[in-house]
Each structure stands twice: as structure tokens, then as C-alpha cells.
Amino acid sequence: MTREGKQVFTLMIAASFASTIGGLPFNALPILLGSLADSFELTLQQTGMLGSVCFSGYFIGTLASVFVIERICWRKLTIICAFGAISALVCSSFASVEWQAPLWALVGFFAALMTCLGLRIMGQMANKERALGLRQGVELSVTALVLFILPAFITIQFGFQGTALALSAVILILSTSVFLLPSNNQQIANMQVKSGDELNGEPTSAQTEATAPKDEATKNPIKYIDPIVWCALAAFFVFGAGNIGLWAFLERIGNSLELAPAEMGTVFAVLKLLGGGAALVIALVGERLGLRWPYALVLLVITFGLVLLWRADSFITFALGAWIWEVGFTWGCVYQTAAVARLDPKGRGIMLIPTAFALSSMVGPGLAGQLFELGYAWLLLWAFGSSIVAALLFAGPLTKGLRQKNSTETDESSATWPVTVQNVSLADKA
């Protein structure tokens, strides 16, 4: 690897750490909600609605990112968001129950900006599968360490207050990646030119965007997104709503089985390690599975995990079910994100992935709380149904739509030519 290539790799690692700041509130959601519910004696519905409030703030943050990220230095934005998230968590650890909702909304808001920034940077890499897989792998690996430490050593001793303060410390450590982040998109383009990180000698998406004129579609990107991209985002929303609802109450399922705190910590730590490993596998496999088979594989793995969770009556069966489900969920998120990126080569759609994720996170925990009161089998059934719908849409009409787009884009200008060639090769493999 050349010196410039190492700089690009370092940039991707730094962007992954910055994105992890945004992913921590979601990935630590079961521990945070569980400890908060125990501290304030909240009902299941109140707990679920508080999770939905957090992701309402996250949703607003994703919308704000469209206007903020291109107008503020990315390093300054990272510092602002890290400080805002830390301040909200610290205040939450000392505040009464009445103040938890607005404070959690603030945590979600700043987390969303960091997630969008990470995707913004990774979306400009020439090899999107490698970049997105690396980002997800780093994020989940860090989360695995956090989830191993929090339940077993922090939450059991200090409750919600200690958990929130510990999470603030982790965000502070991750924010030191700001010194390795680029200030804007032009720096990414310059790095990739020097490192030769291009496709067949043509410009990468970062290089093209840095030099392209700001037309009307650039000034108002949402207005010019193709309908098929909106359909893909809707499918991602359905997939997320069911599985995020399950994730929010996974700790409660384990609690109903009377698992010890140390056992719970082991489950979540290994779960995120497996998720990180699963994402890194995608970084290695890339596009080799084509367009249809990944979704069949995702559905198969998720189904197996859900069946084990349904039949769980001990630590072993619960852990195996949660771990297998996490692998499928991670693969589903990465492959669906890559599909959105291929459907919209200009990169507008991928910026709305966190928005779809936020919407599903707003709906998921709230509905999950109501279903859980009927019995957690209903929650597992909902996650299964949402996974089926997403798999059918992505493997069916969305794949067909991508092939049609490929047939009409092969003669376009060199600004989109590298991505078009990549899409054609994928379609041929399907």
C-alpha cells in the first residue's frame, strides 16, 4: 500500500470512529432503556415510547444533515456533535424522569449528524462495499466492547446514571478521530487522486462531485431522487421497523428468562462482535453474490435466529438466537444500503438511509412495546414479517428496476460511467 493509499485507509478508519459516535445510542439502546426502566420503574409502553422519542430527534437530525454537512467544516461539526451528545447524556444521568424525553431527543439529534457524516464520507469511496463494510465492522466492534463492559461492570453497580456517564466517556474518546477527518469533500478527492483509488482510470464519485457544477439537482437533491430509490428506502424502513423493534426489547426478552447481568453482557458483547465480523465479511465478499442471493441469505439467517429466540428457555438458546439474528440483520442493512447507492449513482439516496433508519427507529420501539405486552412471540413474528417484505422487494422489483436503469445509463457521461459499469457487472451476475 502506498503512502497516499494509507492516508485514504486512515481516513476511512477515522470516519468509521466518527460514525460510531452516531451508532452508539442505537447499539446501546437495550442497555440504556433497560437501566432507565429499572431506575424510574417505567412500564413497557413508557420505555418503548422513550426509545421512539430518542429516534424522533435522530430523524430530525438526518433531515438537518442535508443542509448542515455541506455548509460546515466536517471537523468542527464533529466537535459540536460530540459535545452536544455528551452534554445531553450527562444531564440525562442527573435529571428527573420528566426531563428524559427532551434530553434523549437531543442525543438522537447529534447522533444522527455523526451517522450522516460517516456515510457521506464513505459514500465517496471508489469501492463502496469495502468502505461500508469497514465502517459497519469498526462501529460494531467498538460497540461490542462497550456492551461487554456496561452491563457487567457499570450498570449493575451504578444503574442508569453510571451507564449514561460511561457512554459519554466513550463518545469523548471516539471524538479524538476529528484530527484525522477531512474538512470537506475536496480533500477526499485529492487523496484518491494521489492514491490511484479510481475505477478504470475514470474519476471516483468524490472527484466528480468536487469538480462538478452546482446544478439545480445539487441545490435541491431530494426533489430529483428517482421513484425507485424512494421504493428502496421504503423497503429499508419496513425491514428496520420490525428488526429495530426487536433489538430495543432484546434485553427485556433476556430479562424474562432471568439471565444474570454477566450473562446479558456476554450476549450483547459477542452479538456486536459477530455483527462487526459479519460486516467485514461483506467487505471481503463484496459483489460476488450478485443482486438477488444476498437477500435470500439474509432472510434465511434472520429466520433461523428468530426461531431460536422463540424457543429460548436458557442462556444458550437465547444467546445463539440473538447472535444469529444479529448477523442476518447486519448483512441486511449493509446490502440494502449498497443497493440504494447503486440505484442512485449520484449519491443522493444514501444520504437518506439514516432518515429511513430514523423513521423505523421511531416506529419500531413504540410498536414493539405494545406487542411485547401481548407476548414476545408477537414481536418475533413482526420482525419476521418485515424481513420477508424487504427481501421480496429488493430481490424482485428493485432488482428489475436496477437492470432497467443499467440499460439506459451505459451511454451516459463519464461522471457516472464508473458506477454504471459496476452496476452492469452486478446485474449480469444476478
249, 30 contact by CB (below 8 A): yes
Right CATH for 3-213+224-429 from 1.20.1250.20, 3.40.50.720, 3.40.50.620, 1.10.240.10: 1.20.1250.20
199 SS3 class? strand
Closest Cα partner for 40 from 164, 176, 167? 164
Closest Cα partner for 371 from 114, 48, 88, 20? 48
* Residues contacting residue 371 through CB under 8 Å, at least 6 positions apart: 245, 378, 379, 382
- CA separation (Å) from 14 to 133, 182, 280, 353? 14, 9, 16, 20
Q: Which pTM value belongs to this model?
A: 0.71
239 SS3 class? helix
Q: What are the DSSP calls for 15-52, one per residue?
A: HHHHHHHHHHHHHTHHHHHHHHHHHHT--HHHHHHHHH
Per-domain residue ranges for the chain? 3-213+224-429
Per-residue model confidence as pLDDT tens for the chain (430 residues): 566 667 778 888 888 888 888 888 777 877 888 888 888 888 777 887 887 788 788 889 988 887 888 788 888 999 999 999 999 999 988 888 888 889 999 998 999 899 888 888 887 776 776 777 888 888 878 877 887 788 778 888 888 889 899 999 999 999 998 888 887 666 665 555 454 544 333 344 444 444 444 455 455 556 667 788 888 899 999 999 999 989 888 888 888 888 888 888 788 878 878 888 888 888 777 666 777 788 899 999 999 999 999 988 888 999 999 999 999 998 999 888 888 877 876 666 777 888 888 788 778 888 888 888 888 889 999 999 999 999 999 888 877 777 666 566 554 544 444 443 344 344 444 4
Residue 427 is placed in which grid cell?
A: 446485474
Residue 318 is placed in which grid cell?
A: 437465547
133, 288 contact by CB (below 8 A): no
CA distance 88 to 66: 23
- CA separation (Å) from 159 to 40, 98, 140? 11, 18, 23
Buried b (16+ CB within 10 A) or exposed e, 136-174: bbbbbbbbbebbbebbbebbbeeebbbbbbbbbebbeeb
Residue type, 393: L
Closest Cα partner for 188 from 219, 210, 214? 210
Identify the DSSP state of 224. G
